[in-house]
Each structure stands twice: as C-alpha cells, then as structure tokens.
Structure 1
C-alpha cells in the first residue's frame, strides 16, 4: 500500500488539475464559441446597435412634401377628392416619407388640424379672403375656412403671413412662412392664375414673393403652386419644379438655399396636382 505525505498529496492534486485543464480547456473554448445561445445573443446586441444607428435622426437631412389638395368644395377639381380620401392620401404620404415639413395649398383649416392631429405635426394656417371675407369650405361643411398651411415635425418658433399688394378676381393671395426649432424657414404660397406677362398680377406677386424669401436668409425652403413656369426664386436660391408631373406640370415650384436638393414627383389620386417631394441637406 502506497502512503503519501500531505505535501506529496497536494503536489499530486496540482499536477492532475493542470493535466485536466490542458485536456478540457480547448474543448470547452470550442463549445463556447459555437454555442447557439451565445452566438444569437451576440447577433441581437449587434442588431440592436445597428437599429439605433439607423433610427437616429440625421440632423442635417431635411425633407418636404408639397401638395395642392383642391379641397374648398367650390373648384372644378373637387369631384375627384372623394372626401375624406384626399385627407387620407396626405396623411399616408406624410407617414410614408416621414418628411420634416408639409406645405398645402387650397386647404381647409379644420382639415389641416385633422392632418396635424393624425400625424403629430405642428402647423400654421393662413386664411385666404374671398369676396372680402373668409371662405367657408363646403361639401361637406364644417371643415373650416379656405387657405394655405405649413406643417412641421419640429416645433414652430414663429410664423408670419401677409397678402400680396395685388390680386386678380375675387380671391386674395397670401404667403405664409414659419421658423422651426431647427431654425429652418418653411414658406408656401398660391399665386394668381392670370398668366406670366410682365404686368400681370401673378408677376407682381412673384416679385413680392422673391423679396419675402430673400429676407428670410439662410436655411429657407419654399414650396407652393405658383401658377407659372418661370421661377420666382431670389438670387442665391435654387429652383425645382414638378415638370415630371402628369397633372398640370411645371407650376408647383420649390425654392431654397439648402444643400444637395433632389426632387421626386409622385402621382396623386384625389387632387388635380401631383405631389412633390424634396430632400436636401441643411447648411451648418
């Protein structure tokens, strides 16, 4: 019978432990590297990080949706709006593109409020005077008064609107501008339809609009139905149009001094103008 002293027993235990580590450790390491649970957990963490990166808002990106929704209830295009489908179309486009701003022409105040409520956007509305008074929208009634609107994803810090010095017929024409929390000026307008002659009312309004936009300074974007093909953009601003539209092409314009502008025209079903989507970059 073999007898071990306490010291020899401790030494033997150490040797056996080291040998076991050499034999078992590679197998254990390999099992850990290929354990499905371990691999899946690593993938989820990476995926979560990527989603966070993609979900983070690009502070310099800016997008805008322009639509003339022809929803007063009086104009000849109204039969195509199939109310409230025209509102649904606006909301669906806003949500699909997640734009930073929306400019609407020929809109109704209560409809704009509903669009804002459904999308979570802020808005300002400019009432257009018709025959000396606000025009109540009809068919159906209860939709507020006729005018133009700007909606923004960001908070609105200031807003201003005013009538042009001249208008033709019985409908006043106005411009509307807001300044957002990102210090971006977003403007819209709907000009008269009497042509582009140098002495026309439309040309007078075009000149005044140019001055309004020039005074806004950096980070300004305008979109609206200007009822003309020649640009009203002041010096230093680019011009994009809906030339590619299938309905009334070339008369919805976008002007701005943001960087890298790109325009896309999308067919609209429930109004007589196609939708205009612009993406650009803010200048910091």
Structure 2
C-alpha cells in the first residue's frame, strides 16, 4: 500500500476482540530495524520476506515482553500480508499490519532489492502492526533531504486504549543523507514526530530507529546529542535508567574491521508509565537489536 493511500485507514476489530483488549491495564510495544531492504551487508538482504516475517513473529513470542504493537524499519512492503498472517498464527491473536512506503528523489517508491530468485519484494517501508483492537492508521511525511529518501512516521490511534502509537526511521548522518553539520533534517523530523504522536485525549507511545545518539552518551557530536533532549524532557525513554542514555541497539562494522556499538533505537512513553524495558540479547539477524517497552495505562 502506497504511503499516499495510507493517509487515514480505519481498521475495525470484532466486538469480542475489542472488549478483550480494552480491559488490559498495559500496552507493550516492540521496535526493530530488520535491515531487509537495500543493504547488502545485512542478513535479510535478498531473503524471501516470509523468512523475515518468521523472525519478527519469533521475537514477538519468545522475549520477556510480548508486544501488542510492533514497529519495523527497513521492512519490504511485499511482506506485509505474510507478516500479518504469521503473527496471527504464532500469537493466537488477530493483527492488523500496515506499511508506509518511502520515496526517493522525484517521488517514486524506494524499491527493495529482489530476492535471490529475482522476485520483487516490494518497497522499503516503515511498518506498524497492532494486535486485537480497532486502529486508525495515518502516515505523516517528515521533512527530509530533497536529494535522498523521504522519511515517514506511521501512527495508529487505538480508541479502545486511548493510545496513539507511532513508528519511524529518521534520516541517517551519512554523506548521501542528512549530511550537514548539526543534522538539521533530523532536528526537524524529531519536532514533526512529536507533533504526530501528540493526539488530544490519547497517550503517546512512539519511537523506532532515530539515527541519533542519546543526550548523555559519548556518541556522535554535542550538537547531534542535543537533538533528542526535548523528547527526553517531555517523555520517558524505556531504557534510560535515570540518565538520558541506554544499552546499545546497533552494531556497526567500520571499514577497518573494528566494531562500534551504539544506541540508535528508542521507545518513548509518558513519564511515570514505563513499567518494563527489554533489549533482545541474542545475535539478531540484523545490525539492530529489537527493543521492547511495557507501558501502564492505569
């Protein structure tokens, strides 16, 4: 489904499903950059999207936090229906999965690399999956470098829980993306993400691969670390443990073969509502590790 067609999509749930989820006093969210689209250095590059979906579903049922919502980055839109089906099989719950496609300069969709048999896998997307409840999905375009990819935030408002969840993948600080000093595009994208997540009468739970260092880390530059400071001031990040930092979520192999481990992935929720956070510890088939948050709704 193209991003433009996903401007507002309301997906109903059966009365029984909605009632079952409304009684819950918490909501759990998982975020993972699966690195499946166009990076030849990643395990899922060129893999059948069913294989990617199987692993996402595995992470949905094997970790200490079982998600009600899943954010994915660098997913390929051709796997959207397969992921929905596999999540339902593995969890025993109804799921709705939607993808918002990224576009390149000129407005054409960013195509995922084909699989190893040369078959298309769709387009690079940010993807949001919601279990059980009716949800209204809305895609928000983010201000992006005109010479590279148009970034998106995909939100799902869940009336039964009065929660608005938003997943995104912000621009990277690479020579072909948000390359200017101070990361001006990511600074603007963070402002727009905050605006998209804030829905009157709803709690906001949002995050994804933000491609930014935490304010209290020693990563990156001081100017770039400050970009997320307003978010930490307004919300709690699940893994901050008293400081504006957290465990590493991305492993980067440099050209000289050395490895750096960084926190680039985040999940934010209202202050005082985070009851548990988890970062998957096993070797994920991606350069990122899944991150989870449990949020109290009392």
| TM-score, length-scaled by structure 1 | 0.71
Does the alignment pair 1:182 with 2:161? yes
Q: What is the CA RMSD across the aligned residues, in angstroms?
A: 2.6
Whole-Å separation in 2 of the counterparts to 1:176 and 1:268: 27
Whole-Å separation in 2 of the counterparts to 1:260 and 1:239: 8
Q: What aligned pairs does 1:175-254 form with structure 2 within 5 A after superposition?
A: 175-180=153-158, 181-194=160-173, 198=182, 200-215=184-199, 218-230=202-214, 231=228, 233=231, 235-241=233-239, 243-245=247-249, 247=251, 248-254=261-267
| Contact 1:187/1:222 (8 A) holds in 2 | yes
- Higher RCO (CA-CA < 8 Å; seq separation 6+): 2
User: Which of 83, 98, 103 is matched with 1:129 structurally?
Assistant: 103
| Contact 2:84/2:96 (8 A) holds in 1 | yes
Does the alignment pair 1:78 with 2:39? no
User: Which of 116, 121, 135 is matched with 1:157 structurally?
Assistant: 135
Q: CA deviation at 1:199?
A: 5.3
Which protein shows a greater Rg?
1
Q: CA deviation at 1:279?
A: 1.5
Distance 1:130 1:270, change over 3 A: same
3-state SS in 1 of match to 2:143: coil
3-state SS in 1 of match to 2:263: coil
Total equivalences in the alignment: 227
Q: CA deviation at 1:175?
A: 0.8
Distance 1:157 1:215, change over 3 A: closer
Whole-Å separation in 1 of the counterparts to 2:44 and 2:27: 31
Q: What aligned pairs does 1:80-99 form with structure 2 within 5 A after superposition?
A: 83-84=47-48, 85-97=51-63, 98-99=66-67
